[in-house]
Structure 1
Amino acid sequence: MSVPTSVSPPLLVSVAVMTVMFSGLVSMAESAIGVNWGTISFHKLKPSTVVDLLKDNKIQKVKLFEADPLVLRALMGSGIQVMVGVPNEMLAALSSSPAAADLWVRQNVSAYVGKGGADIRSYMLKRFIAVGNEPFLTSYNGQFQSYVIPAMANLQQSLVRANLAGYIKLVVPCNADAYEGNVPSQGAFRPELTQIMTQLVSFLNSNGSPFVVNIYPFLSLYGNSEFPQDYAFFEGTTHPVIDGANTYTNAFDGNYDTLIAALSKMGYGQMPIVIGEVGWPTDGAVGANLTAAEVFNQGLIKHVLSNKGTPLRPAVPPMDVYLFSLLDEGAKSTLPGNFERHWGIFSFDGQAKYALDLGLGNKKLKNAKNVQYLPARWCIANPTRDLSEVANHMKLACNVADCTTLNYGGSCNAIGAKGNVSYAFNSYYQLQMQNEKSCNFDGLGMVTFLDPSVGDCRFLVGVTDTSASFRPYQRWVVGFILMLWQVWAFRV
């Protein structure tokens, strides 16, 4: 997800991506449910633990936001179909340097093709590389726009040189703010995107690729006080949208058909569509809670798997739907809102937040197994000390750790002033791997062995895994190499 600037049904992640879709053979008449696996977390589970979690829940499709080799290795041989990402920030280098594109394909595609590799079967026996993630997002002010088509051209040639072009195709995940319309039938791409969308859709069509879109009804509700709450869900509404002979009772169908209309105006009304991201957060804002997330996600799954389609595309649901997201990511930017860290159907430690039938064979979610936790102890406010001078300590703790549940609408918003202090102290303490000094706070904190959680407000205990710690270094190295390729390209 990427950060939006308006109240459109799209969304946001601080890390923009360029995605490689390693997907499986799919019937055009039925949808498949997958999940997004983000890794922007203070407390990372071992990749092998997450892969086991996916397998236990019979999830066969997963979308990643970067090409983390540790994650890809864990997925090798699992039979799980993978969508791998590369940051939007690499688009400039990939668009200007064929050598950079060759390097990217070699490291992130060719390296995982072959016996025992990640499952790279895909739609209609093809594979896809998605160039950028929401690169046309309004808030980007066009900074990535000129790189998309040239990057696609270079990547296409890289696939040819790697003898992969015969079955690997290119796509571009788009935020739903790429199109607009007062009612679905009036859907059209934003005027400033008309030229590039014409090029993009023509490219996708000629290569048999789907259009990938991210749709977020929650954001429409969150950003617009006049948005009908029941229209965001799938249980009927007292505020349907009437569009000629068609009636829309939920925001997802309305948004989806707005895209259909936009594609139709370009002559591609039958283009296959994949939902790259869709979901509902469980914390950090009014309306973001466990009940609403369960109702939305279960309603979405039931709606999509019914194969009823939408008014403009009856009996033809999306090819695939990737829920956002698998796990909470407590280190994500809160610029879009505090809810941004709470989209997971599982908490950061792989524990199911609510009962959810994914339509994959299990009636409810199964928890992660063999999670390695720190000892069962917490840091709380010392009850014998005067807390009148605690503000700076809380600010320090929350600037480093995640305190988003304490804010208005959050699950810990009503635990009182001393509870807030304890929550902040503990979040910092767990992030510091329970280092004894990290619970001092000038004597205002103390360690307890009694769980201070209250109701739905959970005081976490960290996990011990550090296997993903190489990832930031790996990203820097890859980014630096691509930057060098870009410099070289301009000189030659």
Structure 2
Amino acid sequence: MARGGYLFLLVTIGLLGSYVVDGLGVNWGQISTHVLPPKVVVQMLKDNNISKVKLFEINDATMQGLAGSDIEVMVAIPNYLLNSMTNAKTAKDWVEKNVTKYLTQKPAVNIKYVAVGNEPFLTSYNGSYLNSTYPALKNVQTAINDAGHGDKVKATVPLNADIYMSPSNHYVPSAGYFRPDISTQMSDIAKFLDKNKAPFTINIYPYINLYQNPGFPFDYAFFDGMKFPLMDEKIAYDNSFDAAYDTLVVALEKVGVKNIPIYIGEVGWPTDGDKHANVQLAEKFYRGLLKKLGNNEGTPLRPKQYIEVYLFGLLDEDAKSVDPGNFERHWGLFTQDGQPKFPIDLTGKGRNITLVGAKDVKMLPKKWCVMRSDAKNATLIEETIKYACNYGDCTPIGMGCSCGNLDAAGNASYAYNIYYQTMGQKAGSCGFSGLAEETTKNPSSGNCTFPIRVAPPPTPSPPPASAPGSGTPADEKTQSSQKSSAYYYGPSLLLLLGLEVVASFFF
């Protein structure tokens, strides 16, 4: 064989062997003003050998994009439906429309789990789902079983790590227990999941610990070891992931559930919006996590075990609430338009390689909106920046963030541009009372990117006009479905209509 052919064979074998860590999945959220077409996202998942995905909602476009891909899917029932799922008939109808439908169609969707709610026992919910989550879980699993899918599909409840704790004077995993206000519910849920051979799903966020607690040891959020680990009798905990996981193990054992599989529903590191949210630290976190997972290290209380993990998240989401923090829109391994942010080796081998980005993405034209050089009205500039940032994502211009070093003119330009892009570069959206202008010169510099958004899908041709009085409830249902399509342009239809009115006076 010629030397060139031999080299090609070696490279090919290496590429074919580049699979991800066993059990590794991703969370695919879609709270964005401009979303990628599902087929593009599914191809990106396949290109990176990611074979498991966790959703937060069900829409037909996403499900059809996953159909025939063989990607394992965790579908979700949002929290606002939990109360209704306490009715067995409602749960049965939901399973029929959202599980059976996609399992039996040709090609089928490989649904493996149903997430019943998402972190329903967060303390910030003030007990809103305290009495509905467990009954909903039972009804959904019963409906799955009755539909004949029980051997393949399991219901679970993704929970936040605030469901358990340790005493403040003995803050170690071996002292862990479920929060007193939910201890009965957690015991019931854990035993039910165990009985039905379903996983216990927990979300663990070392970054949040670091963000919320000024005294939290920086190194404890990562996997590189620390000089003074947390000692729990003879066990040394040198990272918060292991400590959080094992605290749950102990809490479960205290309610009589000892060997249930524990899945990590969410874990990740954001890349913008805070001084500790950047690509360098995200790369550091994922490198340590994936090495740990790839080596099947397990944790001190469950050593040498593989842990099923869903990374959070797949893509940035620019329309998410920033109530938890400005980092909330920047959890993606990929930018909103599907481009990788930093080197990451999903095999856990630590190689300096980059993920495969989204292909054939249709972007808006290469145009930006910036502040005019002759703009001088400081009061009006401040007002227009606030206005623009109310509708566009200005979190990158915060202190310590990727665009935090811009001057006043740069901040204004960033705000004007993000509004312009969010509005789809619509005529009149780069006016700002004469303070802004369009340009074809990219104003990005260094680590600060002035983004261009994904182009919206083509507007479908209107259907033929119906004869007067011919409308039916079925027609209304179709129209409603179109309004809630996965492809939406701007924060919402009503918001855009409101902006149309405001713009006519403002610009």
TM-score (norm 2): 0.83
Alignment of 1:21-36 (within 5 A): 31-36=22-27
Alignment correspondent of 1:24: none
Q: Residue in 2 aligned with 1:152?
A: 137
Aligned to 1:420: 411
Q: Which moved more, 1:164-173 or 1:305-314?
A: 164-173
Please give the alpha-carbon distance, in whole angstroms, between the structure 2 residues aligned to 1:377 and 1:474. 27
Contact 1:58 1:360 in 2 (8 A): no
Tell me the SS of whatever aligns to 2:484.
helix
> Which of 448, 473, 481 lines up with 2:484 in the alignment?
473
SS in 1 for 2:154: strand
1:268 Cα deviation from its structure 2 partner: 1.7
Tell me, yes or no, if the aligned pair for 2:293 and 2:348 is still in contact at 8 Å: no
Query: What TM-score do the two structures reach when normalised by structure 1?
Result: 0.86
Partner of 1:12: none
- Secondary structure of the 1:439 match is coil
Alignment counterpart, residue 300 of structure 1, candidates 289, 308, 318: 289
The alpha-carbon deviation at position 31 of structure 1 amounts to 4.1
Instruction: Give 5+ residue unaligned stretches, structure 1.
Output: 1-29, 121-126, 476-492
Matches of 1:189 and 1:116 in 2, distance apart? 42
Selected match of 1:58 from 37, 49, 65: 49
Q: Aligned equivalents of 2:301 and 2:335: distance in 1?
A: 37
Indicate yes or no: 2:70 matched with 1:85: no
**AA paired with 1:111?**
K
Aligned match of 1:351: 339
Shift of 1:408: 1.7
How far is 1:338 from its partner? 0.2
Larger Rg: 2
Tell me the amino acid that sits aligned with residue 287 of structure 1: H
Tell me the alpha carbon deviations over residues 25-59 of structure 1, each in whole angstroms, 9 at most, x when there is no partner: xxxxx841111010000121111111111111111
Whether 2:102 is the aligned partner of 1:117: answer no
Q: Which residue of 2 aligns with 1:439?
A: 430
> Which of 435, 444, 454 is equivalent to 1:463?
454
SS in 2 for 1:101: helix
1:165 to 2:127 alignment: no
Note the 1:212-361 alignment, pairs <5 A.
212-318=201-307, 320-359=308-347
Contact preservation (8 Å) 1:68, 1:471: no
Shift of 1:163: 2.4
Q: 2: CA distance between counterparts of 1:139 and 1:466?
A: 37
Alpha-carbon displacement from aligned partner over 1:95-144 (angstroms, at most 9, x marks no partner): 1x222112210111011113411123xxxxxx432321111111111110
Confirm whether residue 206 of structure 1 aligns to residue 198 of structure 2. Answer: no
- Structure 2 equivalent of residue 38 of structure 1: 29
Q: Percent identity?
A: 47
Q: Does 1:454 align with 2:445?
A: yes
**Distance in 2 between residues matched to 1:315 and 1:166, nearest whole Å:** 27
Residue aligning to 1:400: 391
Residue 100 (str. 1) matches residue 90 (str. 2): yes
The aligned amino acid for 1:112 is: Y
Change in CA separation of 1:271 and 1:153 when aligned onto 2, cut-off 3 Å: closer
**What SS does structure 1 have at the residue aligned with 2:155?**
strand
The answer to whether 1:369 aligns with 2:380 is no
Partners of 1:223 and 1:399 in 2: CA distance: 25
149, 154, 162: which one aligns with 1:177? 162
- Structure 1 contact 232–252 (Cα < 8 Å) conserved: yes
Secondary structure, in 3 states, of the residue corresponding to 2:248?
Answer: helix
Q: Please name the residue that 1:409 is paired with.
A: 400
Matched, 1:72 2:63: yes
Distance change >3 Å, CA 207–CA 472, structure 1 → 2: farther
Query: In the superposition, relative to structure 1, how do residues 241 and 360 fare at CA in structure 2: closer, same or farther (>3 Å)?
Result: closer
Aligned AA (2:230): V
Letter of the 2:320 partner, please give it: K
1:430 equivalenced with 2:421 (yes/no): yes
Describe the SS at the equivalent of 1:209. Answer: coil
SS in 2 for 1:36: strand
Instruction: Work out the number of aligned pairs and report it.
Output: 438
For residues 478-489 of structure 1, the aligned pairs below 5 Å read: none
Q: Which has the higher contact order (CA 8 A, sep 6+)?
A: 1
How far apart, in 1, do the equivalents of 2:59 and 2:458 lie? 11
Task: Select which of 147, 168, 175 maps to 1:186.
Answer: 175
In 1, distance between residues paired with 2:28 and 2:150? 27
Distance in 1, matches of 2:239 and 2:482, equals 39
Q: Aligned equivalents of 1:169 and 1:57: distance in 2?
A: 26
1:137 counterpart = 2:127: no
Separation of aligned partners in 1, 2:265 and 2:405: 35
Partner SS state of residue 428, structure 2: helix
AA in 2 matched with 1:473: S
Q: Which moved more, 1:101-110 or 1:356-365?
A: 356-365
Work out the CA distance in 2 between the residues paired with 1:130 and 1:382: 49
What SS class does the counterpart of residue 134 from structure 1 fall into?
coil
Q: What are structure 2's unaligned runs of at least 5 residues?
A: 1-20, 460-479, 487-507
Q: Following TM superposition, by how much is the alpha carbon of 1:73 offset from its aligned partner in structure 2, in angstroms? A: 0.3
Report Cα offsets for 1:300-348 as digits up to 9, x if no partner.
Answer: 1111121111111111132x10000000000000000000000001000
Coordinate RMSD, CA, aligned: 1.9
CA distance in 1, matches of 2:290, 2:94: 34
Q: Deviations over 1:277-319 (max 9, x none)?
A: 000000001100000001101211111121111111111132x
Aligned-partner Cα distance in 2 for 1:281–1:71: 24
Q: Which amino acid aligns with 2:136?
A: A
Tell me how far apart the structure 2 counterparts of residues 347 and 64 of structure 1 sit (CA, whole Å). Answer: 18
Which amino acid is the alignment partner of residue 176 of structure 1? A
1:360 deviates by: 8.1
- Separation in structure 1 between the aligned mates of residue 120 and residue 83 of structure 2, nearest angstrom: 12
Q: Deviations over 1:443-477 (max 9, x none)?
A: 100011110001111000111134899676269xx
* Partner Cα distance (2:302, 2:249) in 1: 8
